Amino acid sequence: MSIRIAPSILAADFANIQKEVEMLNASEADYIHVDIMDGVFVPNISFGFPVMEAIKKHAKKPLDVHLMIVNPDQYLEAFKKAGAETISVHYEACNHLHRTLQAIRQLGCKVGVALNPHTPVESLEDIIEEIDLVCVMSVNPGFGGQKFIGSTYSRVRKLKSIIDRKGVSTLIEIDGGVNQVNAPLLKEAGADILVAGNFVFSSEDPLHTIKNLKSLS
Ligand code: DX5
Ligand code: ZN
């Protein structure tokens, strides 16, 4: 199966958000990745509900929402209402991860967990059955346009072997610094979904870039 692509709207032109979302609708992208940053969990603030609702209003692809926030439990319902299909919370932001994942499931959303680059993938071994998608951070969260961290390949291989051993169908998503060079290697290591922000939106022809990323890998 060809790899799925989730362009990160964080890298889009927010003054033309409707046009940007319509471009993604017309593309071969599988999801729209929505990065929510609170200025506490990460040293940056992105955007909140009004912007997300504006994206949802035009989007024909499912919203893959990546919460880089503390106390995510407090806002899960609001993100569901704002149009999230998948909600990923950070492992490092959840004291009671199992409870948080159950709450996401109960809302009817797909359940995601994001891991910072320093968090061992084995941390999810005992809870992997509850997770639809693991978002492996290949940069430190907080900013688009950063350099891809090379240790991601071995992390993906380890995670893939846990998933296979447990016989679950959890998807592996890679987030940060994805480009045409690392995409095929990530696919080979076991990735199912690639998030791409700047590589897509800074390119001359984003539609073509998305198509290429999909066929490259
Ligand atoms: C980083 C975000 C990423 C980012 C990806 O904190 O979670 O989703 O927007 O952007 P690029 O592909 O430019 O690294
Ligand atoms: Zn993200």
31 neighbors 60 (Cβ within 8 angstroms): no
CATH number at residue 92: 3.20.20.70
> Is residue 64 flagged as an active site residue?
no
**Ligand 1 pocket test target in 67, 138, 146, 178 with most atoms within 8 Å of CB:** 146
Q: What was the pLDDT predicted at 2? A: 87
Task: Look up residue 109 and give its DSSP letter.
Answer: P
> Is residue 35 flagged as an active site residue?
yes
Domain encompassing residue 196: 4-216
User: Please, what are the averages of pLDDT over each run of 10 residues along the chain (217 residues)?
Assistant: 94 98 98 98 98 98 98 98 98 98 98 98 98 99 98 98 98 98 97 98 98 86
Q: What was the pLDDT predicted at 77? A: 98
Which residues have CB atoms below 5 A from the ion given as ligand 2? 35, 66, 175
Q: First and final CA of the chain: distance in angstroms?
A: 10
216 neighbors 184 (Cβ within 8 angstroms): yes
Residue with tokens 């893939």, as numbered in its chain: 160
CA angle 189, 190, 196 (to 5 degrees): 90
Number of independent structural domains in the chain = 1
User: Per-residue b/e over 121-131, b at no fewer than 16 CB within 10 Å?
Assistant: beebeeebebb
Residue with tokens 């979904």, as numbered in its chain: 193
Ligand number nearest to the C-alpha of 88? 2
Q: What was the pLDDT predicted at 3? A: 96
Q: Give the global pTM.
A: 0.98
Instruction: Establish whether residue 112 lines the binding site of ligand 1, counting it when its CB lies within 6 angstroms of any ligand atom.
Output: no
